[in-house]
């Protein structure tokens, strides 16, 4: 039986590299590229079919930063497939990143240089904004939209005698210090990306606590330091060109500098081959690359409190009700929205 695999943010970077690796691993996959930009998604699909003639690659219009788009996409998925084996939650944004240049150069010539590049701790801030749903954009895109997607697709993910997998692309920048359970959208902070990624780590733990018994297993991956559009958006391309030789040199001494999307997708691909029962629900699986270029995966315990993770899950449920109620009021003629409103009243 062919596996059904959905990858969000699949038209470039780590998402596209993962799709390439999955099709190389299993030519019988039914792969779905869930993307916001359909023109780029079509280009990605064409590239995949060029190297994997005969592969089954579908496209799905999905903007995880919009709850309405998530709901519409979920309806398409439910009409197209009768189950989901893997749901890779890879899409994410880091809008308007700003770098503390003084801290950067100070760290560049210090003993902390490797950790600085690996985590960007103390270097990066972002200017977040509200989206059309009235939510903080980074929170909505990196976490909440994916949460609603999982909720909508539960009938396909949780089935009798069927095991499904949810895999989050997290980050080494996910830090407890950037997250507050009293401000889950990070409205009051300046590190929404770090906050959202730590929240996704917590949500993965909460999903395992709640849904392993229903056959759904969640895992978290850190791709390492990868040069993608997200990374190149932090500093001018000319600057990256200047420091790339230094980064390749540092790579000899650390395994977290995966650098290429192919290497960064290592743990995502590795999880595809594992039995979920053998995985640690509280581990983050890191893509690592040795100085000689060998890729491998290593689990590392996450700094997550299970009870706080459950509180986050509950808060997301309440927020989902609020947002969907607003959508129902805004789309009074939409039967699906009205049916949901009647269910939660």
Which residues belong to the active site?
193
Phi and psi angles of residue 54, each rounded to the nearest 5 degrees, phi first: 90, -5
Compute the distance between CA of residue 294 and CA of residue 289 in angstroms, rounded to an integer.
5
Residue pair 205/306 in contact by the 8 Å Cβ criterion: yes
3-state secondary structure of 168: strand
- Quick one: how far is CA 194 from the chain centroid? 12
Beta bridge partners of 299: 285
Neighbour-count burial for 204-238, b at 16+ CB within 10 Å, e otherwise? bbbbbbebeeebbbbbbbbbbbbbbebbeebeeee
Q: Is the CA virtual torsion 218, 344, 327, 186 positive or negative?
A: negative
- Quick one: how far is CA 217 from the chain centroid? 15
Residue pair 220/297 in contact by the 8 Å Cβ criterion: no
Region at 107 (left for phi over 0; alpha for psi -120 to 50; beta for the rest): alpha
Compute the distance between CA of residue 285 and CA of residue 299 in angstroms, rounded to an integer.
4
Compute the distance between CA of residue 268 and CA of residue 219 in angstroms, rounded to an integer.
9
**Contacts of 215 by beta carbon, 8 Å cutoff, 6+ apart:** 157, 158, 159, 160, 161, 162, 163, 164
Residue pair 203/313 in contact by the 8 Å Cβ criterion: yes
């Amino acid at each position: 039986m062919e596996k059904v695999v959905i990858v969000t943010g699949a038209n470039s970077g780590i998402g596209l590299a993962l799709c390439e690796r999955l099709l190389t691993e299993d030519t019988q996959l039914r792969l779905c590229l869930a993307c916001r930009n359909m023109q780029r998604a079509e280009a990605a699909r064409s590239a995949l079919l060029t190297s994997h003639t005969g592969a089954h690659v579908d496209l799905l219009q999905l903007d995880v930063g919009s709850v309405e788009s998530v709901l519409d996409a979920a309806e398409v998925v439910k009409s197209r497939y009768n189950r989901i084996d893997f749901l890779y939650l890879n899409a994410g944004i880091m809008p308007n990143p700003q770098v503390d240049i003084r801290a950067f150069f100070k760290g560049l010539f210090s003993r902390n240089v490797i950790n600085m590049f690996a985590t960007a701790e103390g270097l990066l801030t972002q200017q977040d904004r509200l989206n059309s749903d009235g939510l903080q954009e980074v929170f909505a895109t990196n976490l909440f939209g994916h949460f609603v997607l999982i909720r909508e697709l539960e009938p396909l993910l949780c089935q009798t005698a069927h095991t499904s997998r949810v895999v989050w692309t997290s980050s080494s920048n996910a830090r407890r210090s950037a997250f507050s359970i009293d401000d889950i959208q990070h409205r009051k902070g300046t590190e929404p990306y770090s906050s959202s990624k730590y929240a996704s780590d917590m949500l993965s733990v909460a999903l395992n606590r709640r849904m392993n018994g229903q056959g759904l297993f969640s895992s978290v991956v850190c791709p390492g330091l990868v040069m993608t559009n997200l990374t190149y958006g932090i500093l001018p391309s000319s600057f990256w060109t200047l420091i790339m030789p230094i980064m390749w040199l540092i790579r000899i001494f650390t395994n977290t500098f995966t650098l290429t999307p192919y290497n960064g997708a290592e743990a995502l691909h590795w999880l595809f081959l594992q039995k979920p029962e053998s995985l640690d629900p509280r581990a983050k699986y890191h893509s690592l690359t040795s100085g000689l270029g060998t890729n491998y995966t290593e689990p590392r315990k996450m700094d997550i409190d299970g009870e706080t993770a459950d509180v986050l899950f509950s808060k997301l449920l309440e927020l989902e009700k609020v947002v969907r109620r607003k959508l129902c009021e805004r789309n009074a003629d939409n039967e699906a929205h009205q049916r949901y409103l009647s269910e939660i009243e």
